[in-house]
Amino acid sequence: MLLRRQSNLNHTAYHEPGRESPRRLRCEVLPPVTRGDMSTLNLLAFDLGASGGRALLGTFDGERISVRVVHQFANGPVELAGHLYWPLPRLVSELRRGIAAAAQRCDGALDAIGIDTWGVDFGLLDADGDLLGNPVHYRDTRTRGMFDAAFARMPKEEIFRHTGLAFQPFNTLYQLLAVKMSKPAMLEAASGLLFMPDLLAYFLTGERATEYTDASTSQLLEAESRIWCEPLIKAMGFPAELFTSIEEPGTIRGVISQSIQDELQLGAVPVVAVASHDTASAVVAIPAEGGGTAYLSSGTWSLLGLELPSPVLSDDVLRWNLTNEGGFGGTIRLLRNVMGLWIVQECKRVWESAGSSASYEELVRLSTESRPFTAVIDPDDPVFYSPGDMPENIRDYCARTAQTVPSSRGEITRTVYESLALRYRWTVEKLEAVTGNHIERLAIVGGGVKNSLLNQFTADALQRPVVAGYAEATALGNLLVQVHALGELSGLQEIRQVVRASFPAEIFEPRDPAPWDEAFGRFVKITEAA
């Protein structure tokens, strides 16, 4: 195992005074770490998102890390008999292909593997360790009515006091309650519940355990003690034996099975329980740190929050639907789920199905050329949650709230981008209110960092600098937690020093606040009334 070393990286400067518009600056790439003799590490991250999965090979030389995609595969939900499922058997096959591709790139010298996915979804195993049906996708409708069913068993306020989690219909609590109410025989036959990253790791290693950050999104975990919430589990009537031991991110779960070793001509490669909830991994790789930095993981969902040492369980956190989720290194991620670029993705899909194709870059260009602040929407309105005719949903929302109705693709997408930025401002203000912390800057990671227009809108709306980091931050965080598990990086501070040394960030400085202040007033009035 590699020995930890002391890093000599300096902090990145986030502001360059005296620069005029355009307010986009390049951060300095930090000098390398001085290190002694050490072999290069080859790490494999599997990052499974809403539409696809990728295997990314990270090469860490003790100073910087490089990342490249070695395998890609589809991961959309599969509809069967009226329900949406994960295509699990195919995904396990894709994991093997990804391992083989990575091993080929590094001549079999593969040092570790980590897996991240989104949270809440799970699979059930029977007493023999066999899977009881394919896991159900979180956008399935089986959780309709489950809020009322859960609150009849334990009041909403009491659930929040235990878990500190926002109330989302897709949380594991409501999915599992739906199983209990509609398929009680399945729950009776189950001897174990594994969240998706843990389930995939189980099929690689044969080991059962639960990684903390993913479990923290389930609404079944005590926020403060970080253990399974026995009173809630008992109140819901869930068998206690379903829930396995909880491991901190950075724990080595096991090694790939003998059959995989033989099939792929590999040794006993360790599988690391990384920060396996994808947002937790992305936050590991933000390009900034310090008490004045908030983070935004920008993609299909927008997750905006603060890293804290302990959960915040105040009435305002409950009222504003903020949530306390687990992070790497003993942190709590106090955040809000915002609908995110899903809305634009659905608009694009609808336009393409009608024969009007356009790339995301083209939609950004059309947005730039459109009139500002035609209308505002609440990205978190339930009408924007499910697949459907998203452009028509946006027009209907604007008509229903007595606003000018955007018509062109540019007007519609600009309305979405501006409204996301305004929701980010609202969220930052609420985070400051419940914590007493002053937020000086926002660090953005994820696919949304490629959208310079939205990044600039966000800086303008917040009137704070926006630091746009690495687009593949989820995979990067996954990889660097593997490095930590192998003993080379001591914790978050050293991990983020490597992030800043490896990938230059881009800064967006705020411009004239007046139009954004006026728009924010309209946004608050319209969204609260709606």
Residues 240-248: what's their mean pLDDT? Answer: 97
Q: Which of residues 420, 450, 465 is at a domain's end?
A: 420
Q: Is residue 308 part of a domain?
A: yes
pLDDT for 29: 35
CA distances from 218 to 6, 119, 198, 210, 462 (A): 36, 7, 14, 11, 31
Same domain for 426 and 416? no
Q: How many helices (H) and strands (E) does the chain have?
A: 19, 20
* pTM recorded for the entire structure: 0.88
CA distances from 17 to 20, 25, 419 (A): 9, 11, 29
CA pair distance 279, 478, nearest whole angstrom: 10
pLDDT for 290: 65
Q: Is residue 25 part of a domain?
A: no
Q: Is residue 353 part of a domain?
A: yes
Helices (H), 206-277: 212-215, 230-236, 258-264
Q: What is the mean pLDDT of the chain?
A: 91
Residue 10 gets which letter from DSSP? P
Same domain for 183 and 51? yes
CA pair distance 445, 424, nearest whole angstrom: 14
Written as one letter, the residue type at 358 is A
Q: Is residue 528 part of a domain?
A: no
pLDDT for 50: 80
**Which of 28-32, 50-54, 282-286 is predicted most confidently?**
282-286
Asked about 512 being catalytic, the answer comes back as no
pLDDT at residue 17 greater than cutoff 80: no
pLDDT at residue 189 greater than cutoff 80: yes
User: What is the pLDDT confidence band of residue 387, given thresholds at 50, 70 and 90?
Assistant: confident
Q: Is residue 264 part of a domain?
A: yes
Q: Are 124 and 185 in contact (CB under 8 A)?
A: no
SS3 at position 144: coil
Non-local (6+) Cβ contacts of 415 within 8 A are: 374, 375, 376, 377, 394, 398, 406
pLDDT at residue 157 greater than cutoff 80: yes
CA distances from 237 to 89, 121, 142, 219 (A): 30, 19, 18, 15
pLDDT at residue 143 greater than cutoff 80: yes
Q: Which of 483, 454, 440 is nearest to 295 (CA)?
A: 440
Same domain for 61 and 98? yes
pLDDT for 88: 94
CA pair distance 427, 254, nearest whole angstrom: 40
SS3 at position 211: strand
pLDDT at residue 140 greater than cutoff 80: yes
Q: Which of 154, 164, 163 is nearest to 313 (CA)?
A: 164
Structural domain of residue 436, as residue ranges?
Answer: 285-338+422-514
pLDDT at residue 5 greater than cutoff 70: no
pLDDT tens track for 92-121: 999 999 999 999 999 999 999 999 999 999
CA pair distance 295, 443, nearest whole angstrom: 5
SS3 at position 304: strand
pLDDT at residue 134 greater than cutoff 70: yes
The C-alpha angle with vertex 347 and arms to 345 and 351, in degrees rounded to 5, equals 120
Same domain for 327 and 356? no
Catalytic residue among 278, 378, 380, 460: 278
CA pair distance 78, 482, nearest whole angstrom: 31
Same domain for 390 and 465? no
Number of domains, the chain: 3
Same domain for 408 and 428? no
Same domain for 240 and 351? no
pLDDT for 18: 30
Strand order in the sheet with 332-338: 24-26, 506-508, 466-468, 441-445, 293-298, 302-308, 332-338, 323-326
Q: Are 514 and 385 in contact (CB under 8 A)?
A: no
Q: Are 136 and 85 in contact (CB under 8 A)?
A: yes
Same domain for 102 and 208? yes
Same domain for 117 and 139? yes
**Percentage of residues in the chain having pLDDT higher than 90:** 88
Q: Which of residues 252, 273, 294 is at a domain's end?
A: 273
Residues 207-223: what's their mean pLDDT? Answer: 98
Count other Cβ atoms within 10 Å, centred on residue 199. Answer: 25
Same domain for 246 and 179? yes
CA distances from 12 to 28, 197, 290, 470 (A): 7, 33, 12, 15
CA distances from 147 to 171, 173, 239, 319 (A): 10, 9, 20, 16
Helix (H) or strand (E) holding 418: helix 409-435
Q: Is residue 527 part of a domain?
A: no
User: What is the pLDDT confidence band of residue 36, given thresholds at 50, 70 and 90?
Assistant: very low
pLDDT at residue 54 greater than cutoff 80: yes
Q: Is residue 529 part of a domain?
A: no
CA pair distance 133, 85, nearest whole angstrom: 9
pLDDT for 33: 34
**Percentage of residues in the chain having pLDDT higher than 70:** 92
Q: Which of residues 420, 451, 475 is at a domain's end?
A: 420
Residues 388-393: what's their mean pLDDT? Answer: 96
Q: Is residue 486 part of a domain?
A: yes
What CATH code is carried by the domain that includes residue 447? 3.30.420.40
pLDDT tens track for 287-319: 976 679 999 999 989 999 999 999 999 999 999
Q: Are 41 and 111 in contact (CB under 8 A)?
A: yes
Residues 32-48: what's their mean pLDDT? Answer: 72
**β-pair type (192-195, 52-60):** unpaired
Same domain for 319 and 240? no
Same domain for 396 and 483? no
**β-pair type (112-116, 506-508):** unpaired
